[in-house]
Amino acid sequence: MHIGKVIHSIKQGVLITACLLAVFSCTHEPDKVDVVVPEPEPLPACEPNKVYFVNDVMPYINSTCAVPGCHDNKGPAAYIDLSSYDAIMNSKVRGVSIIKPGDPLNSKICRVFFLLDLVPMPPPFNYGMPTQGRDNLIKWVQDSARNTACEGRCDTVNYTFRRNIAPLINKYCTGCHYGNYNSGNVLLTNYREIKAMVDSNKLYQSITATEGVQKMPTGVVSMQPCEIIQIRKWIENGALND
């Protein structure tokens, strides 16, 4: 009788152990959820008479102001960081924002380009922002200073060096490759200097960041796709001084 109870207890123990093993060895595969990454919203087509921050303003600021030793994000002069939209909008002088949307006359970033505060910017001997860049800045601030962008502003069929390519280089590159402060000992202030970079294959490689060449321009700014196509076609057609 005692033996029978022992055997019964053993059987129960084996049964319980088997059940426990079955429970803990059973894994439940959760239903797989496909993560859908939304496509970025397409940019609107550029309106001909409208100024866009990404296309028409930031490239000039990046080349003229947010250069090493001035107002980049690595120890910006006077603590004024102009390396991005947010940095620009958050920059202040004596507690006052350098941009007052809708009011370029009272926006420090506009006033310094026209000597309204008797403080020349950029400083003497530095690259001066082209007239087109200053005009764009004024219009952008007047139009609420928003972080806007568009697509398709340039003609990839009809273009010349003087009308299109040189202004592109001035817009994106010359500020860092000018005078005694030129980056990498590279000058891009005239056709001869630009053509030398074309002949070395460095111009196109830098703006497309290919063949191990560092991306140019640096920072948050990149040439627009149609602008890169313009330069590529100009180079393929002999890089003429037309």
pLDDT tens for the chain, 242 residues long, are 443 443 344 345 434 444 444 444 444 445 555 555 555 678 899 998 999 999 999 999 999 999 888 898 998 999 999 999 999 999 999 999 999 999 999 999 999 988 888 787 888 778 889 999 999 999 999 999 999 999 988 889 999 999 999 999 999 999 989 988 788 899 999 999 999 999 999 999 999 999 888 899 988 999 999 999 999 999 999 999 99
Q: What is the rounded CA–CA span in Å between residue 148 and residue 56?
A: 10
The pair of three-digit structure tokens given for residue 93, joined into one six-digit string: 């002088």
No. of H helices and E strands in the chain? Answer: 9, 2
Q: What is the rounded CA–CA span in Å between residue 63 and residue 58?
A: 8
Q: What is the pLDDT of residue 87?
A: 97
Dihedrals phi, psi of 131, to nearest 5 degrees: -55, -40
Q: What is the rounded CA–CA span in Å between residue 134 and residue 114?
A: 9
Place of tokens 């590159």: 173
pTM equals 0.80
The pair of three-digit structure tokens given for residue 83, joined into one six-digit string: 């390396």
On the CB side of 37, CA atoms within 13 Å amount to 1
Q: For residue 66, give Cα distances in angstroms to 2, 72, 217.
A: 93, 4, 11
Q: Domain-by-domain residue ranges, the chain?
A: 53-142, 161-236
